[in-house]
Structure 1
Amino acid sequence: MNTMPLLENHHAPLILLGGTLCNGRLWQPLSEQLNVTSFSCITLTAGKSAHELATQLLEVLPPRFCLAGFSLGAMVALQMVALAPHRIAGLALLSVNPLRDLPANAAGRRAAVKEAARLGVAPWLTKTLWPKYVAPHRLDNASLHQTIVQMAEECGIAVFADQTEVAISRDDHRAALATFPSPILIINGAYDVICTHSHHQSVAAVAAHARWITLPESGHFLPLEEPKLVAIAMRNWIQETQP
Structure 2
Amino acid sequence: MRDKPPLVLLPGTLCDERLWMPQIEALIGQANILVPRIDTCDDLDGQARDILKRIPWPRFNLAGLSMGGILALSMLRQAPQRVERLALLNTNPFAEAPERQAQRRGDIEQAATMGIARYAREVLAPLYPAEGASGDPVHAELVVAMAERAGLETFRRQALALRDRPDGSAGLAAITQPTLVLCGDGDRLCPPERHTYLAEHIPDADLMILEGVGHLSTLQAPAVVSQSLANWLTREPNPLPRREP
TM-score by length of 1: 0.91
Whole-angstrom distance in 2 between the partners of 1:143 and 1:41: 22
Matched, 1:48 2:30: no
Contact 2:177–2:204, Cα closer than 8 Å, also in 1: no
Shift of residue 11 of structure 1? 4.2
State the identity as a percent: 33
* Alpha-carbon spacing, 1:241–1:42, altered in 2? closer, same or farther (3 Å): farther
Contact 2:181–2:207, Cα closer than 8 Å, also in 1: yes
Matched, 1:201 2:196: yes
Aligned to 1:94: 89
Out of 166, 174, 180, the position equivalent to 2:169 is 174
SS in 1 for 2:175: coil
**Counterpart of 1:58 in structure 2: which amino acid?**
L
SS in 2 for 1:211: strand
Whole-angstrom distance in 2 between the partners of 1:21 and 1:37: 25
Contact 2:131–2:188, Cα closer than 8 Å, also in 1: no
Out of 181, 190, 196, the position equivalent to 1:186 is 181
Aligned to 1:147: 142
Contact 1:175–1:206, Cα closer than 8 Å, also in 2: no
* Alpha-carbon spacing, 1:55–1:140, altered in 2? closer, same or farther (3 Å): closer
Whole-angstrom distance in 1 between the partners of 2:135 and 2:209: 23
Whole-angstrom distance in 2 between the partners of 1:148 and 1:121: 11
Out of 52, 58, 73, the position equivalent to 1:58 is 52
Matched, 1:79 2:71: no
Bigger Cα displacement from structure 2, 96-105 vs 124-133: 124-133
Q: What do residues 50-91 of structure 1 show as CA deviations (whole Å, max 9, x unaligned)?
A: 210111122232210000011001001000111111110000
**Counterpart of 2:43 in structure 1: which amino acid?**
S
Structure 1: gaps of 5 or more residues: 1-8
Shift of residue 132 of structure 1? 1.5
Matched, 1:163 2:158: yes
Out of 104, 109, 122, the position equivalent to 2:104 is 109
Contact 2:4–2:31, Cα closer than 8 Å, also in 1: no
Contact 2:176–2:203, Cα closer than 8 Å, also in 1: no
Whole-angstrom distance in 2 between the partners of 1:191 and 1:60: 34
Number of aligned residues: 235
Whole-angstrom distance in 1 between the partners of 2:135 and 2:90: 22
Structure 2: gaps of 5 or more residues: 240-245
Whole-angstrom distance in 2 between the partners of 1:99 and 1:79: 12
Matched, 1:30 2:23: yes
Whole-angstrom distance in 1 between the partners of 2:76 and 2:145: 31
* Alpha-carbon spacing, 1:52–1:201, altered in 2? closer, same or farther (3 Å): same
Shift of residue 138 of structure 1? 5.4
Q: How does 1:6-17 map to 2 (within 5 A)?
A: 10-17=3-10
Contact 1:95–1:188, Cα closer than 8 Å, also in 2: yes
Whole-angstrom distance in 2 between the partners of 1:201 and 1:222: 16
